[in-house]
Each structure stands twice: as C-alpha cells, then as structure tokens.
Structure 1
Amino acid sequence: MPDDVRSQPRVPPRWFVRTAWWVHRGLYRVTGGRFGLRRPRGHRWGMLRLTTTGRRTGREHSVIVAYIENGDDLVTLAMNGWAQGDPAWWLNLKAHPEATVDLVHESRPVRAHAAQDAERDQLWTAWRAYDHELDAYAGLRTTETAVVVLSPWEQPTHL
C-alpha cells in the first residue's frame, strides 16, 4: 500500500457524522444542557453550544462545536466534519457576527471573526496540541479551514 494512502486520516461516512451531531444535540436538549458541553482540560478540547442568526431566515440556529480557549476568546474551526464547504453556522456568522455561546455554567454574547495571518498561525498551532492529526484532516478539504475567534461582546444599549 502506498505511503500517501496510509497517511490519510480516516473520516467516518457523512451519514454517520450527521447522525452523531443530531444525537449530541438531542441529548443536550433532553438533559436540559446537563450533558453535551465541557470545558477544555489537559489536551482535550471543550464543547460549547453556539447560537447564530440565520443569514436567510433571521431565525436562531444552535450547534455544538469543539473549542479551545485563548485568553478571554473562544476558538473553533469551521471544518464541517472535514467535508467540503463551510458549515452553515460559519456562513451565518459571516452574515451576522454577533452570537451567543453556552458553556458549562455560563452563557455569553460573542462577536465572531476569522483569524488571519499571524493570529491564524498562532491559533492553528495551539489547536495542534489538542489534535495531532489536524493538518492531515485539513488536507482532506480543498479550501482552507477557517479559524473562528469568538470574542466577548457587549450588546450596545439603546437610550
């Protein structure tokens, strides 16, 4: 077997990935949020619930995504299960960067942006500590995977 075939990471079939996402969100809902979220610890990334505003519908949409912490910022990857294209939640954030994240014991408003240049390089390197096969998985995609920074955001108050 050629080396390049053996070095390819194994990704489950798309139907399996989508089913796992569906089950995860369902368990979160059924348990009232007691199951499904975790803080990053050691070399394990955390999981947060991200609620965005739909770019076409204007309705709220929630998804659970992996994240790491970088100071007060939360950092996730717009990887779409390592499939082609951007995930819907990232397309929503590009249209409406203000969102809400639910963590284990808190909820907070955030504003999203894609890390660029040196910031992206630094955060991608930080992610490698949590996923040693990150570059191999990213290599499955024909487009660069966005590194999404979710920064604390104070909603403006109207007088």
Structure 2
Amino acid sequence: MTDTIHDNPTPWVADHIRRFEETGGHPRPGMADLLLTTRGRRSGLLRRTALAYVRDGDAYVLTASNAGGDRHPAWYLNLLATPEVTLQVGAATFPATARPATEAESARLWPAVVAAMPSYAAYRTGTTREIPVVLAIPRDREKG
C-alpha cells in the first residue's frame, strides 16, 4: 500500500509541480528543479513541493528561503523531524537523507546558491531569520 502524496497547496508552487510533471522534470529551461517529498511532522502525511537546487558532489543543495518570509517553510520543519525524504530529479525518483548544512558548509555553498537563483540574495536581506541551506544525499550514496 502506498501513501497518497499531497502537493503543496500554494497556487504558484502547485503550478510548478504540475509543470514539472508535464515537462518530465524540466519546468524552467536553464534552471535545476526537483520535487521534494517529506513526511508531515504533525499530520504524518506525505507532502510534496518543488524547489530549485544546485549540486555539491553527491548532495542536492536546497534553500529553505520561503520566498524571504519570516518563517521557515513547512518542508524544512518536516525534514528536521523526519530526515528521510524522497527526491524526484527529472524522471528519476529516489530516497535521500536531508540535513541542514553546517555553518561552514552554508558559507561555502551560499555563493553557488545565489548564482543559480539570484533572488535568494534579496530574500536573505529581507528577513531577520537565517535562511537554512539543506543537503539532501541519495541513500545509495551515503557514507556509513
């Protein structure tokens, strides 16, 4: 039995997820996008959202910007509670483990994040919270 996946209800995010599916994972030419599925920390339901990413070795680097809002996005809070997530990159879907980047990793990765998505620079200056950088590592690539 498979759990039903609930897409992010925010209209522009839901539209992004729809375009991701319609285009085989390439909704924005020139941008690297993926779908992230987390387990809801309160509901226990599977929750899916669309995010831009950059790569750092085996890791997919995500940014919990929440469009510069003053609160962390729900997907970030969910993965803090349950770091086992699912990523869909293009047509490939695979399990991963997600964690916040360390302070040193965030400092090193932030320029690459902003280069890929320049709006993140404005998001960072528009909020008082620290915008977390997240590393999602495919489970078959984890070092153990």
TM-score using structure 2 length: 0.81
1:114: which partner in 2? Answer: 100
Do the aligned residues in 2 keep the contact of 1:40 with 1:68 (CA within 8 Å)? no
Deviation string for 1:92-148 (max 9, x for gaps)?
A: 000000000011021111111111122111111221222345333211111000001
- Pick the structure with greater CA Rg: 1
1:87 aligns with 2:73: yes
1:21 aligns with 2:13: yes
TM-score using structure 1 length: 0.74
Paired residue for 2:34, among 29, 48, 62? 48
Paired residue for 1:38, among 9, 22, 26? 26
1:139: which partner in 2? Answer: 125
Taking a change above 3 Å as real, the CA distance of residues 22 and 40 of structure 1, as seen in their structure-2 partners, is closer
The separation in 2 between residues aligned to 1:54 and 1:36, in whole angstroms, is 26
1:77 aligns with 2:63: yes
The separation in 1 between residues aligned to 2:47 and 2:109, in whole angstroms, is 26
Do the aligned residues in 2 keep the contact of 1:76 with 1:149 (CA within 8 Å)? yes
Runs of 4+ in 1 over 4 A off after TM superposition: none
Do the aligned residues in 2 keep the contact of 1:25 with 1:36 (CA within 8 Å)? no
Do the aligned residues in 1 keep the contact of 2:65 with 2:120 (CA within 8 Å)? no
The separation in 2 between residues aligned to 1:128 and 1:76, in whole angstroms, is 11
Identity %: 33
Do the aligned residues in 2 keep the contact of 1:40 with 1:67 (CA within 8 Å)? no
Equivalent residues, number = 131
The unaligned stretches of length 5 or more in structure 2 are 1-9
Taking a change above 3 Å as real, the CA distance of residues 82 and 51 of structure 1, as seen in their structure-2 partners, is same
Deviation string for 1:12-68 (max 9, x for gaps)?
A: xxxxxx43112223444xxxx232733998xx4411011110101111111111111
Taking a change above 3 Å as real, the CA distance of residues 74 and 40 of structure 1, as seen in their structure-2 partners, is farther
